[in-house]
Amino acid sequence: MGALTRRRALVTSVCVVAALAAGASAWAIVDPAARSSASDQSQAEHRPTDPVTRGDLVDSKVFAGTLGYGAPTTVPGAAAGTVTWLPAPGQVVHRDELLYAVDERGVRAMHGQVPLWRSLERGLEGSDVLQLNQNLAALGYDVSVDDTFGPRTQRAVERWQEDRGHEVTGTITSADIAFVDGDVRVATVDGTLGQPASVDLLTVTSTNRTVTATVSQRDADRLAVGTEVRVRINGGGDELDGTVVDVVPSSAENAGSKVDVSVAFEAGDHELPAAASAQVEASGESVQDVLSVPVAALVANGDGEYAVEVVRRDGSSTRVPVRPGFVAGGRIAITGKVAAGDHVVVPG
């Protein structure tokens, strides 16, 4: 017996045990004594049926989520002095716009993932210098887009400082800029005017709408970064295609070993509510091109074998032996003398 066959047999056995424990649930596999034999069926008797179908079975799972802007990150105050201006929650800050002000001097946002951990001046090299050159070039200044702070960078910095009304020094410090991960939306304002700037001032998020779901570590395998999923937003219309873009340990209280999964999607023409609950559907294992029936249609013969009760055109029914296999979405793959389009009895 191959590994897949053993696995299918195990899945089926688990389903049988679970169904027996559940009593009269919709998943129950009916004992032969609970049904009449095929010869005793009346043509006029009405019984619920469901067709045998051919197609793929996908073990999908739906996770509850919320619509938002992704996980927030903190913007610490780095300039020395007193906070004199802060943005409002919900405000979007683009490149070269004010993040906050200290001693009435604006600290501007520049794009980059490496924080400004030192003053940038002529002769330095590094990824932080590369970020500065990229931003100056994007703003139209004449620089070489590399990781070297050379004379061209110094001249560009001096022109930028003059254009912004800053003291012209040719050196970039934390009193001039802060690097943030692209355009950002202010999530919370944690600082207050008049306090020292050397505290956490803001939290910011992406400007893109995302759905965040908190899932167990066991389910995280279904939702690895790059996984394609389906997203349903309550009040947002049709399903949307989404992609998992981030998986981090959950920040929720009492989350234990759970993780927060962020899903990006293209809203297109959909008008989304400001806030809403959402669902994320992720696929797991699958089998292709199989015959399947509802799990409830499976009959346990009592000797470790199974059957389905196939309804004939005249209303009578015949119990047909089948071998059960993969289970997904309330259906179970079967093999036996049945065909797509046959109708099988499904207990109500």
Listed in sequence order, the DSSP H helices in the chain are: 3-22, 127-138, 151-163
Nearest to residue 346, comparing CAs of 60, 46, 56, 59? 46
Average pLDDT over residues 258-272: 88
Segment among 157-171, 244-258, 292-306 with least mean pLDDT: 244-258
Q: Ranked by mean pLDDT, which of 117-121, 216-220, 238-242 comes out on top?
A: 117-121
Question: For residue 250, what pLDDT is reported?
Answer: 85
The answer to whether residues 16 and 30 touch, using CB atoms and an 8 Å cutoff, is no
Cα 99 to Cα 64, 69, 141, 144, 195, distances in angstroms: 34, 18, 21, 26, 16
Distance CA 243, CA 208 (A): 13
Least confident stretch, 72-86, 120-134, 243-257: 243-257
All structural domains of the chain, each given as residue ranges with its CATH number in brackets, are 3-59+286-345 (2.40.420.20), 62-69+209-284 (2.40.30.170), 73-206 (1.10.101.10)
Q: Which two tokens stand for residue 214?
A: 């908190």
- The half-sphere exposure of 10 on its side-chain side, counting CA atoms within 13 A, is 7
**Residue 201 pLDDT:** 97
Q: What is the DSSP code string of 13-75?
A: HHHHHHHHHH-SSTTPPBPGGGS--GGG--TT----EEE-EEEEEEEEEEEEEEEES---EEE
Q: Give the mean pLDDT of 159-173.
A: 96
Tell me how crowded residue 74 is: count the other CB atoms within 10 A of its CB. Answer: 12
pLDDT single digits (tens) 273-329: 878 999 999 988 889 999 999 999 999 987 889 999 999 988 888 999 999 999 998
Q: Are 79 and 196 in contact (CB under 8 A)?
A: no
Give the pLDDT score at 45.
Answer: 54
C-alpha 173/C-alpha 163 separation (Å) is 16
194 C-beta neighbours (distance < 10 Å), count: 8
**pLDDT at residue 28 tops 80:** no
- The SS3 assignment for 241 reads strand
* pLDDT single digits (tens) 75-112: 999 889 999 999 999 999 999 999 999 999 999 999 99
Residue with tokens 């996908």: 58
Is pLDDT of 35 > 50? no
Calculate what percentage of the chain has a pLDDT beyond 70.
Answer: 86
Is the four-CA dihedral 14, 20, 24, 30 of positive or negative sign? positive
